[in-house]
Amino acid sequence: MRILGIETSCDDTAAAIYDSEKGLIVHRLSSQIDLHRQYGGVVPELAARDHICTLMPLVDNVLHSPENGGEKMDAIAYTAGPGLSGALLVGASIGKSLAHAWGIPAVAVHHMEGHLLAPMLEETPPPFPFIALLVSGGHTLLVDVEDEGCYQILGQSLDDAAGEAFDKTAKLLNLGYPGGPAISKVAQGGDANRFHFPRPMVNRPGLDFSFSGLKTHVRTTTQKIREENQLDDQTVADIALAFELAVVDTLGIKCGRALKQTGRKRLIIAGGVGANQRLRDHLTKVTADLGAQVFYPRSEFCTDNGAMIAYAGYVRSKMIPDSNTSNPIDSEQASFDVKPRWSLENI
Ligand code: KG4
Ligand code: ZN
């Protein structure tokens, strides 16, 4: 089965083709970072308009790529949510229209299931069951993954997502957008002994997260130093490092707790913040100390991409009874509904 995956939930337009026998065939991405940078964050209306201009040429590009060799698609997977509604609608309408025209099924994919399954695209995929730490710009989730499609949320952020905290802290320090990579880069030159920021909610039982207090702590510290005219490059690096260490340590404590609580022996990290090298190194140590193993996708598949949507679409299409997939031109297919808010437990 060959499946075209389309991702337009936020600020990346991406398309990819996955083949159930040959694996990932081709993937392409067009980033909107330059478009949103001047505003210091994603402007939803601009994101949607850019997806409209970019998606069809990108789809055309993967379909006519030498890697695809002119093969026809058996299904189209598109991100149906969660995400920005205008942005989602672009992928949903193009995905469903193409599927309708070609007489093949359109498969609605949950963006976070895409992230969760992204490590399956690697050479050594994690066997089920495992614990998944999903850390993106919109979500921080700890999920017990029994098998494909069997997900139980163990903990989540009660306020800001981890990526959001990175982005807001970077803005505060004038490090630009997107904040995660900017903070990590600057933090490399930081002195770990200068500041120590709180590890939120680690002394309370449970697996939920909260990052807004940490963000406020960074803001108060930064404002005080700024008022004293002492916010030089070294101080910014020291604050960035203290922030990164606080987030990484907090995520590590909760992942360790989730592994102990469930008895699982494998952890996967996915989502944009999963590209953070300090987080990867720390979780490798945390899991090794517990006699467990860690898995993560290559960096480009931690952040948003079409490959994970194509793969999740393949997994979903295996679960849909044949009668549904063989008749794509039904009323459900003709409507372009998306789910900007959508729990991983209600797919
Ligand atoms: O998964 P993703 O690409 O999009 C969403 O689904 O939200 O995640 C984007 C988030 C942004 O908040 C970005 O700052 C963060 O991931 N991010 C990072 C790194 N690369 C991206 N955070 C920390 N370190 C990184 N290297
Ligand atoms: Zn994402």
The answer to the question of residue 35 being in a domain is yes
The answer to the question of residue 122 being in a domain is no
The answer to the question of residue 56 being in a domain is yes
The answer to the question of residue 138 being in a domain is yes
Is residue 46 within 8 Å of residue 36, measured between CB atoms?
Answer: yes
Distance 137 CA to ligand 2 centre (A): 7
Which pLDDT value is given to residue 337? 81
Is residue 280 within 8 Å of residue 274, measured between CB atoms?
Answer: yes
Which pLDDT value is given to residue 332? 55
Q: 272-329, pLDDT tens digit by residue?
A: 999 999 999 999 999 999 999 999 999 999 999 999 999 999 999 998 765 444 444 4
Whole-structure pTM value? 0.95
Which pLDDT value is given to residue 327? 40
Instruction: Tell me, yes or no, whether 64 and 199 share the same domain.
Output: no
> CATH code at 6?
3.30.420.40
The answer to the question of residue 144 being in a domain is yes
Q: Is the CB of 167 under 6 A from ligand 1?
A: yes
166, 167, 299, best to mutate for ligand 1 pocket (most atoms within 8 Å of CB): 166
Which pLDDT value is given to residue 328? 43
Domain stops at, among 296, 311, 336: 296
Instruction: Tell me, yes or no, whether 101 and 132 share the same domain.
Output: no
Which pLDDT value is given to residue 334? 58
Going by alpha carbons, the residue nearest to atom 14 of ligand 1 is 180
Query: What phi-psi label fits residue 62: left (phi over 0), alpha (psi between -120 and 50 degrees) or beta?
Result: alpha
Q: 71-84, pLDDT tens digit by residue?
A: 999 999 999 999 99
Q: What amino acid occupies position 200?
A: P
Is residue 15 within 8 Å of residue 27, measured between CB atoms?
Answer: yes
- In the chain, which residues have pLDDT < 70? 321-335
Distance 335 CA to ligand 1 centre (A): 31
Instruction: Tell me, yes or no, whether 100 and 247 share the same domain.
Output: no
Going by alpha carbons, the residue nearest to atom 10 of ligand 1 is 137
Instruction: Tell me, yes or no, whether 131 and 253 share the same domain.
Output: yes
The answer to the question of residue 21 being in a domain is yes
Q: How far apart are CA 92 and CA 89, in angstroms?
A: 5
User: How many structural domains compose the chain?
Assistant: 2
Q: Is the CB of 297 under 6 A from ligand 1?
A: no
Instruction: Tell me, yes or no, whether 86 and 135 share the same domain.
Output: no
Instruction: Tell me, yes or no, whether 312 and 245 share the same domain.
Output: no
The parent domain of residue 133 ranges over: 127-296
Which pLDDT value is given to residue 9? 98
Is residue 90 within 8 Å of residue 17, measured between CB atoms?
Answer: no
Q: Is the CB of 143 under 6 A from ligand 1?
A: no
Going by alpha carbons, the residue nearest to atom 13 of ligand 1 is 180
- The set of residues, in sequence order, having a beta carbon less than 8 Å from that of 246 and lying 6+ positions away, is 197, 198, 199, 200, 214
The answer to the question of residue 336 being in a domain is yes
Q: Is the CB of 81 under 6 A from ligand 1?
A: no
Q: What amino acid occupies position 260?
A: K
Which pLDDT value is given to residue 323? 42
The answer to the question of residue 324 being in a domain is yes
Instruction: Tell me, yes or no, whether 133 and 103 share the same domain.
Output: no
Instruction: Tell me, yes or no, whether 234 and 315 share the same domain.
Output: no
Distance 303 CA to ligand 1 centre (A): 6
Instruction: Tell me, yes or no, whether 93 and 185 share the same domain.
Output: no
Instruction: Tell me, yes or no, whether 332 and 312 share the same domain.
Output: yes
Instruction: Tell me, yes or no, whether 143 and 223 share the same domain.
Output: yes
